[in-house]
Amino acid sequence: MPDRGADSRYAWLRLAATLGLMTIGSAAMYVVAVVLPAVQAEFGVARADASLPYTLLMVGFGLGGVLMGRLADRFGVMLPVLIGAAGLASGFALAAASGSILGFAIVSGLLLGFLGSSATFAPLVADTSLWFVRRRGIAVAICASGNYVAGAIWPPIVQQLVESIGWRGAYNTLAVVSAVVMPLLALALKGRPPAAVAGVTRGGAAARPSERPFGFSMNQAQALLCVAGVACCVAMSMPQVHIVAYCSDLGFGAAQGARMLSLMLAAGIVSRLVSGLICDRIGGVRTLLLGSVLQGTALLLFLPFDGLGSLYVVSALFGLFQGGIVPSYAIIVREHFPPAEAGARVGTVLMCTLFGMALGGWMSGKVFDLTGSYHAAFINGIAWNLLNLGIVLLLMWGLRRQRGAALPA
């Protein structure tokens, strides 16, 4: 029988299948940004209303992640992935047939988000963290990079489909891909995580996380991570959700915006992998601090630079700077909370990051409607990024106090 323990060859083969599933399953959150201008024009609605499908999709994505994580804990991750495949296939097909922005938004939230993409994010990240010990940081980063692989490959493909067969035809194409490919990849996930993994650290010793992470109670520490997750992703969503519309408003066209989004998320893949390697060396909290500082820097660069060439450069920098932020939360939970609670706590924190993306996507559209430009929306994102940075610094301060108290007098 092949070795199916932690860090085994089988664990890496599962990781490959997981990467493919997340690449397909995450498509919905990116293609809705690509079709935003076409949907807005067809339904004749304001920019904030046209952003509603994305907002509901991300809310459903986050809430569904908690449900799918619990199903994975009880029945294994294969079941929620199969549910996700059905949700995505039916969701794309019904969204393509919608006759109003409200119908499109409801389908996006319930089927594409709650029952679809949710199954291919938090449950897969949590499952991956249980299959690796020595290389947990890079493994989780590879898994989470599937989210950005989706962002790199799907926007230009869908933009071409929109131009040739319309946004409805593009959604029908994605329905077929989800229905055919995802169940085949799910077959590789039959195995359950080795029981020993949940109780060991990288070095193999029994895991003994602090009863007061960062000097706070378990619930207080969890709440701080949740607020930090919302804040960083409100900031993150501004360029990711609105770069296509922003380029259209500047006169560069939606196709240029789709290419910028693709470049941004391709750079994010590199960022996630490098951050995973860094995380294995310096830990999750320091990696999160680094990502927060760099993301804020990139957002600042969007303010003075709005030429076509400069926007390509800043978009690439934004991707390189912020890609490692979200996976850091999963590593922080595994490092500072009881392993038996990892699935639920990872799902909750990642749910909050998705809520942040949903809130930020809608908020940026609303700020645009109120001001007539995206300048104020970028400033709003910077303010939320500062909130995230403040919380991370508070966590760092708590860690230092704990270590100081543990030193012998």
- Distance between CA atoms of 267 and 156, rounded to whole angstroms? 15
Closest-CA residue to 334 (of 191, 141, 148, 68): 141
Mark residue 283 as left, alpha or beta (left: phi above 0; alpha: psi -120 to 50; beta: remaining).
left
Closest-CA residue to 392 (of 296, 300, 236, 287): 287
| Mean pLDDT confidence for 178-202 | 75
Does 271 map to a domain?
Answer: yes
Residue with tokens 């490098």: 274
DSSP label of 111: I
| Mean pLDDT confidence for 310-331 | 89
Question: Rg of the chain's alpha carbons, rounded to an integer?
Answer: 20
Residue with tokens 């109780």: 199
Does 77 map to a domain?
Answer: yes
At 3 the pLDDT is: 67
Tokens at residue 225, please? 């991570």
- Measured in degrees and rounded to the nearest 5, phi and psi for residue 19 equal -60, -45
Maximum mean pLDDT: which of 154-158, 356-360, 389-393 = 389-393
What CATH number is given to the structural domain containing 251?
Answer: 1.20.1250.20
Encoded amino acid at 153, one letter: I
DSSP readout, 248-275?
Answer: HHTTS-HHHHHHHHHHHHHHHHHHHHHH
pLDDT level of residue 313 (50, 70, 90 thresholds): very high
Q: In the predicted model, is pLDDT for residue 199 greater than 50? A: no
Which segment of 2-6, 115-119, 395-399 scores lowest on mean pLDDT?
A: 2-6
- Measured in degrees and rounded to the nearest 5, phi and psi for residue 200 equal -130, 160
pLDDT level of residue 18 (50, 70, 90 thresholds): very high
Does 1 map to a domain?
Answer: no
> pLDDT tens, 209-247?
567 888 899 889 999 999 999 999 999 988 888 888 888
- Measured in degrees and rounded to the nearest 5, phi and psi for residue 109 equal -70, -45
Q: In the predicted model, is pLDDT for residue 330 greater than 70? A: yes
Does 4 map to a domain?
Answer: no
Does 399 map to a domain?
Answer: yes
Tokens at residue 275, please? 């951050």
Encoded amino acid at 345, one letter: R
- Beta-carbon contacts of residue 2 (< 8 Å; ≥ 6 apart): 8, 9, 10
- Distance between CA atoms of 401 and 146, rounded to whole angstroms? 37
CB 55 within 8 A of CB 359: yes
| Mean pLDDT confidence for 49-63 | 84
Residue with tokens 């076509």: 308
130, 293, 59, 77: CA torsion to nearest 10: -10
Residue range(s) defining the domain that contains residue 92:
9-406
Does 2 map to a domain?
Answer: no
Q: Give the Cα-Cα-Cα angle 376, 377, 382 (nearest 5 degrees).
A: 95
Residue 12: exposure state from Cβ atoms within 10 A (0-12, 13-18, ≥19): middle
At 149 the pLDDT is: 84
- Measured in degrees and rounded to the nearest 5, phi and psi for residue 255 equal -65, -40
- Distance between CA atoms of 302 and 199, rounded to whole angstroms? 45
At 408 the pLDDT is: 56
At 405 the pLDDT is: 65
CB 120 within 8 A of CB 25: yes
Does 3 map to a domain?
Answer: no
Q: In the predicted model, is pLDDT for residue 129 greater than 60? A: yes
Does 296 map to a domain?
Answer: yes
Q: Which residue has the higher pLDDT, 403 or 284?
A: 284
Q: b/e string for 77-107 if b means 16 or more Cβ within 10 A?
A: bbbbbbbbbbbbbbbbbbbbebeebeebbbb
CB 45 within 8 A of CB 360: no
Q: How many domains does the chain have?
A: 1
> pLDDT tens, 65-111?
888 888 887 888 899 999 999 999 999 999 999 989 999 999 999 99
